[in-house]
Amino acid sequence: AFRNRVILSSREAGRALIAAAAEAGEIAPPPDIEVVLDMIYAPLLYRLLAGHQPLDAALPAALAAGAMRLMAPSR
């Protein structure tokens, strides 16, 4: 239930955001959107499981910003 309600729905929302950003030319279309989603969500889950650092409000924004830099359109 948790997997479907939280994990999969979050990934679907992420897919939609990445697709919209690519369509708008804000980012280059990623070759593998699933890898990008893993790069964003895996650190959150790792912090939750390992408990080595807090899950604070700044982390998701930092992860998204890093992913956006990696997918910046070439100019």
In the chain, the percentage of residues whose pLDDT exceeds 70 is 99
Is 19 exposed, middle or buried, given 0-12, 13-18 or 19+ CB atoms closer than 10 A? middle
Question: Greatest CA separation found in the chain?
Answer: 43
Output the pLDDT for position 75.
64
Condensed to tens digits (0 to 9), the pLDDT of residues 25-35 reads 999 999 999 99
Q: Domain limits of the chain?
A: 2-70
Are 53 and 47 in contact, with CB atoms under 8 Å apart? yes
pTM (2 d.p.): 0.75
Measured CA to CA, the distance from residue 64 to residue 23 in angstroms comes to: 17
> Over the stretch 10-63, which tens digit does the pLDDT of each residue have?
999 999 999 999 999 999 999 999 999 999 889 988 998 998 988 888 998 898
